A and B are shown apart, each in its own frame.
Chain A
């Protein structure tokens, strides 16, 4: 930043290119957050080092803009410099009429420009990885970096099963910090706090997804849960749609927009040992408060965990309308 101001430009080495192709379709209850957590678990938090990531394939094409933002946002957690998704009709529809977007004929001219941006068919990447979207289930982190992820239906992994010595040591120290025992079903892990918020997952679609799970339910008596909209605009829209009522009636705190407990720079923080289901992007030691234990997951998963007091497979959820 300090170099962009005086020089008005920025020096950057050419990144390598990694293409994540996500074929087929994801199942019901599986979200963009689950997709990106799954991808990070596959390549780990340094798998993207030196790369810019591109996400392609049917799963990505079917995602709306807000889901794509969740995915690109967490490219950094895979170690990458940036993540991108080629613009398409979803993109143009999203931008049309938005504040700060070009208007009228200028918009049409820009759409013609943007249509030139996608990678050419057969474009060369330094690395290409293909995953079947149908293989991805709801995910949750068990450790202290965003690559330590498992499907919620799996047990907490055993470090002794990890071949690499460095990763094994890392896993053991993560389990110690997180207060977890290998082999415990993730769905038996009880939580104290729920944070639905952050730039990763507090857009209007995230709040709708969480509200759909919460509607007609009550937050567990042992859980303190809060919703922090991603922006003032999202907050107003959610209130117009009555989502704030759904959350409040269920026992969630409905808060002002901001970063809040994503990084705990304000008084919203975990006490030592408290365990939180969080829709944010980072689960490092102390991230949400010194000694706090963060589990990253999707908004729907966090909402379901708030109601049950422990992690659940949201694909089994009893929705009340």
Chain B
């Protein structure tokens, strides 16, 4: 898994609440057996017309957002189906971090398993970022996981909180399997205490 320490990138704005995973990656693409290559299908039904042409109305198709690696969106981002493909698609498209007032729980968890940093910021801050994106083409943000801060070139400096164990894993690029296995002794002791058969 790709570690996340500090990232500076172009910001794309999606001023919509409750963006659900059925939109992020529609079901017709869940039949693939790889976990790569989903970026081309990201937001498929919003992004493309029926004839395959780009929908120019859709946020990510706007010229100023080409090459964006930070996505800013409305509250409850990633709601609905638990499909991990949603994060795979965002990551494969090029997003390293998503900023929103709140995230759906399963989506939020899935981000940490795939090297994508979801950052919860106050709704007011997100509104300010939307305004800056609209006013300044090429607007960039720096997301710093070490310092747990989001900054920009003209004074934005907002702290955010990430659970320490998760922050640690993401900084090191360590996935949950490696992290869990470091607790092998404690898990085995607990299983014995509860009378479970230890798993070998």
Residues of A within 8 A of B (CB): 3, 6-11, 13, 45-46, 48-50, 76-77, 79-81, 145, 166-167, 169-170, 173, 263-265, 282, 284-287, 290
A168 → B minimal CB distance (Å): 10
Asked, given contacts A46-B102, A145-B20, whether A286 binds B26 with beta carbons under 8 Å apart, the answer is yes
Known: A9-B180, A76-B82, A170-B18. Is A285-B45 also a contact (CB below 8 A)?
yes
17 contacts between A and B (CB under 8 A): A3-B180, A7-B176, A7-B180, A7-B181, A10-B176, A46-B18, A49-B102, A81-B105, A166-B17, A170-B17, A170-B18, A264-B27, A265-B28, A284-B20, A285-B22, A286-B23, A290-B26
Q: Contact check: which of B18, B75, B175, B187 meets A3 at CB < 8 Å?
A: B175
User: In the bound complex, how far is the Cα of B31 from the Cα of A286, in angstroms?
Assistant: 17
Given A46-B76, A46-B104, A79-B76: A285 in contact with B23 (beta carbons within 8 A): yes
Complex interface: chain A residues within 8 A of B153 (CB) = none
Minimal Cβ-Cβ distance residue in B for A44 = B76
Shortest beta-carbon distance from B198 to chain A in Å: 10
Say how far A306's CB is from chain B's closest CB, in angstroms.
25
Question: In whole angstroms, what is the CA distance A80 to B76 when docked?
Answer: 12
- B75 contacts A166, C-beta separation under 8 Å: yes
Q: How far is the CB of A202 from chain B (nearest CB, A)?
A: 18
Closest to B80 in A: A284
Cβ B177 vs Cβ A49 within 8 A: no
Residues of B within 8 A of A (CB): 16-18, 20, 22-23, 26-28, 30-31, 45, 50, 74-76, 79-82, 102-106, 113, 123, 163, 175-177, 179-181, 187, 199
**In the complex, A48→B22 CA distance in Å?**
19
User: A67 to B17, alpha carbons, bound, how many Å?
Assistant: 31
Chain A residue contacts of B20, Cβ below 8 A: 145, 284-285
Flag if B17 contacts A290 (CB, 8 Å): no
Majority DSSP secondary structure for residues of A touching B:
loop
* Separation of A273 and B179 alpha carbons in the complex (Å): 48
Given the known A-B contacts A46-B104, A166-B17, A284-B22, are A9 and B187 also in contact in the complex, defined by CB atoms under 8 Å?
yes
Complex interface: chain B residues within 8 A of A45 (CB): 18, 76, 79-80, 104
Closest 7 pairs (CB-CB, A-B): A46-B76, A284-B22, A8-B199, A11-B176, A7-B180, A284-B20, A166-B17
Residue of B nearest to A46 (CB): B76
* Inter-chain contacts of A166 with B (CB < 8 A): 17, 74-75, 123
Q: Which of A45, A46, A170 has the most CB of B within 10 A?
A: A46
CA distance A21 to B80 in the complex (A): 24
- Closest residue of chain B to A12 (Cβ to Cβ) is B109
Given A7-B176, A9-B199, A166-B123, 18 additional A-B pairs, CB 8 A? A10-B180, A11-B180, A13-B163, A45-B18, A45-B76, A45-B79, A45-B80, A46-B104, A76-B106, A81-B106, A166-B17, A169-B17, A264-B27, A282-B81, A284-B20, A285-B20, A285-B22, A285-B23
Among B23, B26, B187, find the residue whose CB has the most chain A CB atoms closer than 10 A: B26
Residue of B nearest to A48 (CB): B105
**Are A11 and B104 interface neighbours, CB within 8 A?**
no
What B residues does A282 contact at CB under 8 A? 22, 80-81
Contacting residues, chain B, for A81 (C-beta < 8 A): 105-106
Give the interface centre of B50, B105, B123 by most chain A CB atoms within 10 Å. B105
**What's the minimum C-beta distance from A133 to chain B, rounded to whole angstroms?**
27
Whole-angstrom CA separation of A284 from B102 in the bound complex = 19
Q: How far is the CB of A10 from chain B (nearest CB, A)?
A: 8
Which residue in chain B gives the minimum CB-CB distance to A8? B199
Specify which chain A residues have a CB less than 8 angstroms from the CB of B76 in the assembled complex. 45-46, 49, 79
